Structures are given as C-alpha cells and as structure tokens.
A and B are shown apart, each in its own frame.
Chain A
Amino acid sequence: DTAVSQTPKYLVTQMGNDKSIKCEQNLGHDTMYWYKQDSKKFLKIMFSYNNKELIINETVPNRFSPKSPDKAHLNLHINSLELGDSAVYFCASSQEGSGAFYEQYFGPGTRLTVT
C-alpha cells in the first residue's frame, strides 16, 4: 500500500488556468504538508495542516490554497497559473507528538509544467 499518494504525477497546463493536485495519506498521521521543489532541487515548504487547521503558510501567493476535507487528504489548488509555478510539488505527512517525532513521509511528487 502506498503511504502517501499524489495525483496526477504529471500536469501540463497553460498560463492562466486553474488546477488542483490531490494528496492522500493512509498512515493515520495528523499533519500534512505541501512543498515546492524548483529546478535547482531547492525544497520550500508551502503549507501544513494539523487536524484540519492551517499552521504554516510561508509567504506563498494567495493563488495557492490548500484544502483538507479530512485529515487523510490535503489538496492543493492553484489559480491563474504562472510560468514560475512550474516545479515539482511534494505532499508529505507526519505524526506530531510521541512516536514519530515529526519524521515526514513524502509522496512521489507532481511535476507541474506551465506553458
């Protein structure tokens, strides 16, 4: 069973479009994250959700919005896509508190290309 899954794996779209990336984890974790990895492999945290509450927002443009229908899902919506949004987006999850000590489990990534 895949622990953290993302769909789609590849996403090619034009500037100005709106798109969504879905993430699901079956680990029972209570915190989920979205990261952006640019072409130089730099990882930047975008959001995290803990028990359906946004707890980190790292100055990401408001065109990006995370939506969590339940604690196993954290979807990423992007409006009015721009060329600079092209990157690989990773979803991750972790369990806060005793036990895992915030170790994060990553999904396989979604490669977004904006043309």
Chain B
Amino acid sequence: AQSVTQLDSQVPVFEEAPVELRCNYSSSVSVYLFWYVQYPNQGLQLLLKYLSGSTLVKGINGFEAEFNKSQTSFHLRKPSVHISDTAEYFCAVSENTGNQFYFGTGTSLTVIP
C-alpha cells in the first residue's frame, strides 16, 4: 500500500509571498497524483492532477505542482498567495491499478495579512 507524507502540518505565510507545500509518496510503481483543497466547512475540491506527460502541472487559482519521479515527490507551489488561499491542502495518490486513493494528512495553509 502507498503512504503519502505531507511534511508540514501547518504553513503560515504572508500575503503575496510564495509558498511551497511538500508531498512525498512511497511507491515507485506508476501513480496518479492529485492535490485537493478544503476551505473551512466545505468538501474537498480538486486543485490539480498529474496523470502523465509534462511533469509541471498547472491547476486552478494559480497553483502548480511538479512531479519528480526520482524523488517520489509532488510539491505544490504558488508564487504569490492571497488571503483566500487559507485552507487545508491534501495530497493524494492512486496507483494505475485499482481505484484506491491514498491521502496525506493535510497541510493547513494560513495566509497572514
């Protein structure tokens, strides 16, 4: 089974500063990778996904992530955060066999005015 590690449980960052949220997964088999965002008192919404092709993936709200197969990482970045980006962010992995998702423990991003 996969394990998904989000190294930072809480990330405070000032408004308009860049941010990186880290995600590492365990398996070297072929995987699909996802980042989800959860705003307060809401469900999870897909930010972006990596299925194949270019290792740099662009998502909604100005976020992007880079797939690094050798380091089994899929870090999420945004060059300039807004107050509205304050939310919980989840990294998720699925293997290309079966339909089980593995979620990380989440990173709470707080944008400080």
Please report A residues at the B interface, Cβ cutoff 8 Å: 4, 31, 33, 40-43, 45, 48, 50, 55-56, 90, 92, 94, 96, 101-109
Complex: A56 Cα to B99 Cα, angstroms: 9
Asked whether, in the complex, the Cβ of B43 is within 8 Å of the Cβ of A90, the reply is: yes
Q: Give every chain A residue within 8 A of B101 (Cβ-Cβ).
A: 33, 45, 102, 104
The verdict on B88 contacting chain A, using a C-beta distance below 8 Å, is yes
20 interchain pairs (CB within 8 A)?
Answer: A4-B43, A31-B99, A33-B101, A41-B38, A41-B105, A41-B106, A43-B103, A45-B100, A48-B99, A50-B99, A55-B99, A90-B43, A90-B44, A101-B49, A102-B32, A102-B99, A103-B34, A103-B49, A106-B44, A107-B43
A21 to chain B, nearest CB (A): 13
The verdict on B72 contacting chain A, using a C-beta distance below 8 Å, is no
Please report B residues at the A interface, Cβ cutoff 8 Å: 32, 34, 36, 38, 41-46, 49, 51, 88, 90, 92, 94, 99-101, 103, 105-106, 108
Asked whether, in the complex, the Cβ of A108 is within 8 Å of the Cβ of B43, the reply is: yes
Asked whether, in the complex, the Cβ of B49 is within 8 Å of the Cβ of A108, the reply is: no
* Residue in B34, B46, B103, B105 whose Cβ sees the most chain A Cβ within 10 Å: B103
How many A-B residue pairs lie within 8 Å, measured between CB atoms?
A: 53
B48 to chain A, nearest CB (A): 10
Q: Give every chain B residue within 8 A of A33 (Cβ-Cβ).
A: 101
Q: Give every chain B residue within 8 A of A42 (Cβ-Cβ).
A: 105-106
Asked whether, in the complex, the Cβ of A109 is within 8 Å of the Cβ of B99, the reply is: no
Extra inter-chain contacts (10) besides given A102-B101, A103-B34, CB under 8 Å:
A4-B43, A33-B101, A41-B38, A41-B88, A43-B106, A92-B44, A102-B94, A103-B49, A105-B46, A109-B41
